[in-house]
């Protein structure tokens, strides 16, 4: 059984017991949260698709940690102009553990 959820403007395919890195959520570590934006559920080979979201469907997840990701370097250069710029960026992320996928329909 798997589901496709939406969080942070992105879509993820999740199964029970899976660890998932998503954009930062304002939920403290150790707390549970319920994601109601479920787009699709595959239950025993039956594909249930929402329009755009499924009613009576949710995914329960537990927040493991919120940290900064590894550094990404952004380098810009214009040839023959003497222009060079190097910038670094570290994005915050939240690591979730998917506990259950619920569908009551």
Domain for residue 79, yes or no?
no
Of 47, 46, 65, 60, the C-alpha closest to 17 is 60
31 part of a folded domain? yes
Phi, psi of 44 (to 5 degrees): 55, 40
Q: Could you tell me if residue 51 is inside a domain?
A: yes
Q: Domain for residue 84, yes or no? A: no
Give per-residue pLDDT as tens, 2-50: 999 999 999 999 999 999 999 999 999 999 999 999 999 999 999 999 9
* Domain contains 82: no
Q: Residue 60, exposed/middle/buried by CB under 10 A (0-12, 13-18, 19+)? A: middle
pLDDT at 104 over 90: no
Give the pTM.
0.85
Domain for residue 73, yes or no? no
78 in any annotated domain: no
In the chain, the number of structural domains is: 1
**Inside any domain, residue 45:** yes
CB 43 within 8 A of CB 56: no
Q: Which domain holds residue 40?
A: 2-67+94-103
């Amino acid at each position: 059984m798997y589901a496709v959820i939406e969080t942070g403007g992105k879509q993820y395919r999740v199964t029970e017991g899976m660890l998932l890195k998503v954009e930062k959520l304002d939920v403290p570590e150790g707390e549970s949260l319920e994601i109601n934006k479920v787009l699709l559920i595959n239950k025993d080979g039956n594909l249930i698709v929402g329009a755009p979201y499924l009613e009576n469907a949710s995914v329960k997840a537990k927040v493991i940690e919120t940290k900064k990701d590894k550094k990404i370097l952004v380098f810009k250069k214009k040839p023959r102009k003497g222009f060079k710029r190097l910038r670094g960026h570290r994005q915050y992320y939240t690591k979730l553990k998917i506990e259950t996928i619920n569908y009551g329909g």
